Structure 1
């Protein structure tokens, strides 16, 4: 990558290209009717909070009718709202009220598979082998004398075989849980149905779509066996993989993009594509996705070189196709980064909640690093995705008792991984109450006592709190880091990752063990309160055109004295 990224002319910059999007996991965000489960009216009630936080849009995880065998990613009807969450009319009111506050709305779409309870799959079961209904899914005869063996050795992402046999002897493919049969995307009826689903939500005013498992859908028609084991909840990056990141997905992407391009407003789609960085740009070509999540950064260990390398790869991949990176540190599928960064380098954080050791976790270091890394991401060119509760510094509830686990990973993995429930524990809004303000009568997953201390009401207006850091950061981001897409790397020492943006603002994160003097100028924000130097594992933003305070100047002089350690 060249030292300086080229700016894109600011003739018209779509909202999604540089904006901040807040992910809402509806089951765990806010409970308006007191049944212990979050709902659409709960989201509506918190729109002013999200507006005050400073986000440009919200991404709502699946809110469709579903048996919730996989947290809503098992969709039973793509054109309605789960009665547990509310009604379609409630959703339409949410869209209107969000737009009144200037907040865009992205909805989750799950095209790789449906719920077993979807009417399409129920019709396929009833119609039998060779029927048009069954052709919508990946049904195949088994191997062996009586077809008693699955068609191949593929494994579910959650653990166990990826095939389940039905009463008439055929097998259906499910790359996830057995309750989530894979659709056959060679089938024209499947493609037409999803064209109509996109238009259904666009007609109701949604501003974008997050596409689940965007690197899936297309399978090698020969269904060859796979060599080697696949990591649970991971992705195999093998060349010409038989069911991930196949060339055929791009033709589907282009078809969807054409549907979105029919709309006379700024709408978008963002891919959940777990692919090698070199392939990410293929998804971002002008006639495919507008953006794709940068999981390369999310999965990188805490460290100077790891962060810089991930940033360079993401910037290069996006720039080659005229897009911008999409940065994120947490979501509904991964351990919250306030906990992840508190584990020793190299820890398998998916296995750690069971494998331990529990005392390996340093929660204070985890939150300190999480705040520093968040500021780093806020300052980068591109868009930022924030997962609900990270603005409160919520830790992952990794020690949930096994009898409350809801994620199918727990059972499908044969109790070798606890799964993702720890990052899905309901939000705390007040420091007291049966569910810390989430609802009036408890929560569907138990919340730890520390959630009361970290509740939104307990942090609001409190100097130095994580919530106020996010509010200040997102406000400054709009003024200093969304105006352009330039980035120039700076050398502030071997342990400091630093760059300057087109406005002149400097971002610097200290990965070392000793403090480093602030760059020249005025301090805009620090990841810890009262910073007059770049302390270890902290991040600062500096405006070189601002005069530093008298205390800042005195501190910087002290830092530059020979032998000074602070």
Structure 2
């Protein structure tokens, strides 16, 4: 990395620079109290598993007090644990026990919006138009003679309009408020000093309890353009373009510098932002030396399983961070993105395959891509269940609970399929996740072969592959260096080399190929007569 940017990278020992971070979606990780929903006690109970897996840190999706309309991303009290998950004592014990195992703990921070049950929003509804209480949010008069039309044409990324009209204290229909997500998630206005002051207080509350950093939700949306101009076209959920006025306003960067200043009060902590932008220049702005330590770059998680697409995603991601001396991040899935096994599966009807056969191909490709991302320089985020090779679950309509399903008028099934609870042991649901079979989302019965218990006993399982790959990543010096050098490779394949000497080869073609020269460290699928099979990756030195 260029010396002029060393301020953002910090000391070589900063834990986040080359970490493997495991995303715990608490509702679906482990339920210890038997109510069908995962909890903090369940996370504590499974820390030994995460230590065995070999991760450096965990990222907890939201655990703060919430009515759970959006499963924790609608926060009513940002400085308390929701009773669904436990209490502050449970959180403190989790942090202490994770630290005892040399694992860092990061957690979701949700600064863009609150729950409509937050005290501030209740105060805003009770106050008059133009009041200071309403100025913390985006309350606006409607258009038209009677104010019956929304203030602009913005849509919610969950579906439907981004504005809801309120009933005024006198009983009349009155102003509208902005919510880029569900109506129960009103957006905050960071131009009001209370908003940033409260965020600082929240950060220090959790940092004082020992948390090692935050994943900052909707990092690219914290500032809104002056005048709230109309958007040119509707866009899909979480697929924002750089000219979308709802997101990526230049004013967001001053907010991130304020967030960074609080983190700098606590050496050794780090923030990663959810940054959905298109261009490298726009992304780089978020990871400048005085802003986010890390930014989620979703290019790899959005790329098809094709050599040119994967290479382009890697090249562009590295270009975005290298330009400002930042650390790249890699992920293949999360709680908002379809699981890689399903995403990489070929179209069954198009290929003349049964659904199970298509998923089997997707599983091979997911194993290969796990090795690709773990071979890259920077920080890797693993979504819980990826290490088990879980696909998206095929859920019936009547169990769907994601607000996207309702707000889209049942035209978008939402994200429930990738949020199903993990299978731990046994031959039938709930597979050790809970003592009740009535889990918040049903676990497919055909996941019996994907449980942690079954895969720990199988040296060829996806879980065993992850464990081997993580161990090699830590112990082998060949994984050193901040760049990749591309090799020539057959059509439909890629190969790159790290400065330390590691070579990673991916065969995304339909035929076996010769390996690059070197000693094989690990393959995602056994070689065929010395050749690298289709849908397979290999590490060599």
TM category, shorter: over 0.9
**In 1, Cα distance between equivalents of 2:9 and 2:119:** 48
Counterparts of 1:247 and 1:341, CA distance in 2:
35
3-state SS of 2:64 partner: coil
1:437-456 to 2 correspondences below 5 Å:
437-442=432-437, 443-456=439-452
- Deviation of the 1:523 alpha carbon: 1.2
Whole-angstrom CA distance in 2 between matches of 1:138 and 1:446: 38
1:340 to 2:343 alignment: yes
Do the aligned partners of residues 65 and 10 (structure 1) sit closer, same or farther apart at CA in structure 2, a change above 3 Å counting?
closer
Q: Please state whether the residue corresponding to 1:80 is helix, strand or coil.
A: strand
Q: Is the 1:431–1:453 Cα contact (8 Å) retained in structure 2?
A: no
- In structure 1, what is the equivalent of residue 171 of structure 2? none
The reply on whether 1:500 has 2:503 as its aligned counterpart is: no
Match of 1:406 in 2: 401
After superposition, residues 55-94 of structure 1 pair within 5 angstroms as: 55-94=55-94
Cα contact 1:300–1:310 (8 A) shared by 2:
yes
Distance 1:128 1:11, change over 3 A: closer
| In 1: Cα distance, 2:80 partner to 2:447 partner | 33
1:314 Cα shift? 0.8
Judge conservation of contact 1:32–1:38 (CA < 8 Å) in 2.
yes
**227, 231, 236: which one aligns with 1:222:** 227
Q: Select 1:204's aligned residue among 203, 209, 234.
A: 209
Distance 2:512 2:115 in 1: 53
Aligned position for 2:185? 180
Q: Distance in 2 between matches of 1:312 and 1:133?
A: 47
Query: How far apart are the structure 2 equivalents of 1:406 and 1:361?
Result: 29
| Alignment root-mean-square deviation, CA | 2.1
What corresponds to 2:523 in structure 1? 526
Alignment check: 8 A CA contact 1:462 1:468 kept: yes
Residue 318 of structure 1, CA deviation: 0.8
**Which range moved further: 119-128 or 74-83?**
119-128
Pairing 1:375–2:375 present: no
- 3-state secondary structure, aligned to 1:298: helix
Aligned length: 525
Counterpart of 2:155 in structure 1 is 155
Q: Secondary structure at the match of 1:468?
A: helix
Deviations 1:159-214 (A, max 9, x none): 10000001021100000000100001111010100011111111011111100000
- When structure 1 is superposed on structure 2, of 472-481 and 303-312 the one drifting more is 472-481
- The Cα shift of 1:452 comes to 1.8
Counterpart Cα distance in 2 of 1:421 and 1:196 = 32
Conserved in 2, the CA contact under 8 Å of 1:336 and 1:394? yes
SS at match of 1:78: strand
Gaps of 5+ in 1: 348-356, 544-566
Q: Which residue of 1 is the match for residue 269 of structure 2?
A: 267
User: 1:317 offset after TM fit, Å?
Assistant: 1.1
What SS does structure 2 have at the residue aligned with 1:391? helix
Q: Which of residues 469, 480, 488 is equivalent to 1:483? A: 480
Q: What is the match of residue 561 of structure 1?
A: none
User: Are the aligned partners of 1:344 and 1:360 in contact in 2 as well (CA < 8 Å)?
Assistant: no
Distance 1:167 1:451 in 2: 48
Structure-1 residue corresponding to 2:390: 394
| TM-score, with structure 2 as normaliser | 0.94
TM-superposition CA deviations, 1:354-374 (whole Å, max 9, x none)? xxx995981011001111011
SS of 1:166 mapped into structure 2: strand
Q: 1:493 aligns to what SS in structure 2?
A: coil
SS of alignment partner, residue 77 of structure 2: coil
Which of 454, 458, 464 is the aligned partner of 1:468? 464
Query: How far apart are residue 302 of structure 1 and its match?
Result: 1.3
1:286 matched to which residue of 2?
A: 289
Shift of 1:128: 2.6
For 1:277 and 1:53, the matched residues in 2 are separated by 35
Q: Distance in 2 between matches of 1:334 and 1:181?
A: 23
**Most deviating of 530-539 and 385-394:** 530-539
Specify whether residues 10 and 72 from structure 1 end up closer, same or farther in structure 2 by C-alpha distance, changes over 3 A only.
closer
Change (3 A) 1:236 1:320: closer
For 2:126 and 2:445, locate their aligned partners in 1 and report how far apart those are by CA, in whole Å: 49
Distance 2:361 2:313 in 1: 22
Cα-to-partner distance string for 1:492-525 (whole Å, 9 max, x where unaligned) = 3233211111221211001122211222232110
1:331 and 1:106 map into 2 onto residues whose CA distance is 15
Aligned partners of 1:446, 1:411: CA distance in 2, in Å? Answer: 19
The change in CA–CA distance for 1:47 and 1:110 in structure 2 (over 3 A counts) is same
| 1-structure distance, mates of 2:535, 2:302 | 18
Task: State the secondary structure of the residue aligned to 2:80.
Answer: coil
* Equivalence for 1:353: none
Secondary structure, counterpart of 1:192 in structure 2: helix
Q: How far apart, CA to CA, are the structure 2 residues paired with 1:212 and 1:482?
A: 30
Deviations 1:264-310 (A, max 9, x none): x3110001010013211100100000111111121111111111111
Higher alpha-carbon deviation: 289-298 or 219-228: 219-228
Q: Secondary structure at the match of 2:132?
A: coil
Question: What is the CA distance between 1:335 and its match in structure 2?
Answer: 0.9
Q: CA deviation at 1:489?
A: 1.2
State yes or no: 1:232 paired with 2:237. yes
2:380 aligned counterpart, secondary structure: strand
Structure 1 distance, partners of 2:285, 2:483, is 23
